[in-house]
Amino acid sequence: MLVGMRLRKKIHRIKPRIKNFFSKKILARLDEEGIFLAKLYYFFLDSSFNREMLSVLLGKKVHNSRNENLESNQAFLRRSTHRIEKGLIVPKQKKHYALGYIYDTCRILRVTYKDIDEKSLSWVVDVLDAYFKRADDTLDVIKKSKKEFDAIRSKISIQQEPNIKSIPFEHKELEASKIAFSDYLKLTERRHSVRYFENGLVDKTLIENAVSAGLQSPSACNRQPFEVLVLQDKNVISKAVELPMGVQTFKDEIKNLAIVLGDLSYYSEERDRHIIYIDSGLFVMSFVLGLEAQGLSSCVINWPDIEERENSLYKQFKIPKHKRCICFIAFGYAKSKGLVPFSEKKEASDIVMYNEYSNR
């Protein structure tokens, strides 16, 4: 037993040296045998991607099982509704489309309609109504889908005014923006990451106003695969702020904290695994500007992908592993006396290229 312990200690001691030795060899030959060596590296020397792989697979499992077992599935419903509304705007309408998924869309609507918000439900129902008005009901698949849809339609009561329909419309019907570009720019320039806040909880109405602004952001197939956990309890916050790394100098200043989570169960394909980060990032920017427009300040806080920290976060809030933390956001009223870093930005000419890529 003593020998075993000594051996384990020795291995533990020399492990970084072994890793360093093989890392150098692998990195030196990466250009020639790229993918193979990258796989070797991450299989034997570094486990950083393990939890990402697990979360992507768990997301796929949850997604597929919802479909196979006909369970509530907002992701599927939102995506297919969006695909159908896109079909409705094509200038030269196809005679048949969505035949591969229209029946499943109606079946999934049956098991999901109680779980989605009212506005989204109106959108789904109006789009399907519009689709069936144009669809060729001599086809069997349309006939059975329509039958399924009509059966659910009769159970759904929508409060929306009957003349307001969530279906494609002419772009010119949109109210013109009264915000001059200079005003928009001023708002973006006024926003600075603020790390020192006055005491006081932000009113839920203001939070939800900013969330509503965030929710206007584009998202892949309009799925919006994210959630926001808002913390305003001092004790809960004090535990949570121990987890990210870049917050240690101002963690006691945070009175309002948002944790943005991405949900990988919205996808069945690995190719879509980055969408949670893209969609959440777009949401966060509009959310933060929404706070700014209401006189509130914020600081986005990096979520480092470190196993122990992720486990602690998941345990503290009982988060399932197919959801991933995207970032934290501290927010509130900026302290009347407190500095903010200048953080000069790049110039447009520094990052824009026209028509040709130039490696800088």
Ligand X SMILES: Cc1cc2nc3c(=O)[nH]c(=O)nc-3n(C[C@H](O)[C@H](O)[C@H](O)COP(=O)(O)O)c2cc1C
Give the footprint of ligand X on this chain (CB under 6 A): 192-193, 195, 244, 246-247, 299-302, 327, 343
Q: Which is nearer to ligand X, 61 or 191 (by Cβ)?
A: 191
Cβ 301 to ligand X shortest distance, Å? 4
Spatial CB neighbours of 211, under 8 Å, sequence gap ≥ 6: 228, 287, 290
Of 45 and 278, nearer to ligand X (C-beta) is 278
Residue 7 CB coordination number (10 Å): 10
Please, which residue, 192 or 335, has the CB nearer to ligand X?
A: 192
Q: What is the nearest approach in angstroms of ligand X to the Cβ of residue 278?
A: 13
| 206 CB neighbour count, 10 Å cutoff | 16
- Cα angle 49, 51, 55 (rounded to 5 degrees) comes to 120
Nearest distance from C-beta of residue 328 to ligand X, angstroms:
8
CB of 239 vs ligand X, minimal distance in Å = 17
Q: Strand 297-302 and strand 256-263: pairing? A: unpaired
Query: Which H/E stretch holds residue 134?
Result: helix 118-134
CB of 72 or CB of 193, closer to ligand X: 193
- Cβ count near 257 (within 10 Å): 22
Distances (CA, A) of 178 to 137, 206, 215, 286, 292: 45, 22, 20, 18, 18
Residue with Cβ nearer ligand X (78 or 251): 251
The minimum distance between CB 345 and ligand X, in angstroms, equals 7
Contact 200, 255 (CB under 8 A): yes
- Contact in structure between 219 and 285 (CB atoms under 8 Å): no
Burial of residue 78 (number of CB atoms within 10 Å: 0-12, 13-18, 19+): buried
Structure-block tokens of residue 219: 């998202």
Residue nearest to ligand X (CB): 246
CB of 200: closest distance to ligand X in angstroms? 21
Report the distance separating Cα 16 and Cα 341, nearest Å: 37
Instruction: State which residue, 213 or 327, has the beta carbon closest to ligand X.
Output: 327
Whole-number minimum distance, CB 202 to ligand X, in Å? 19
Q: Closer CB to ligand X, residue 75 or residue 247?
A: 247
d(CA 46, CA 23): 10
| Shortest Å distance, C-beta 136 to ligand X | 49
Which CB, 153 or 309, lies closer to ligand X?
309
Looking at beta carbons only, is 261 or 327 nearer to ligand X?
A: 327
Q: Which long-range contacts (CB under 8 A, 24 or more apart) does 149-156 make?
A: 149/106, 149/109, 151/110, 152/106, 152/109, 152/110, 152/113, 153/125, 153/129, 155/113, 156/113, 156/121, 156/125
* CA end-to-end span of the chain: 58
Shortest distance (Å) from residue 299 CB to ligand X: 5
Q: Is 233 left (phi over 0), alpha (psi -120 to 50) or beta?
A: beta
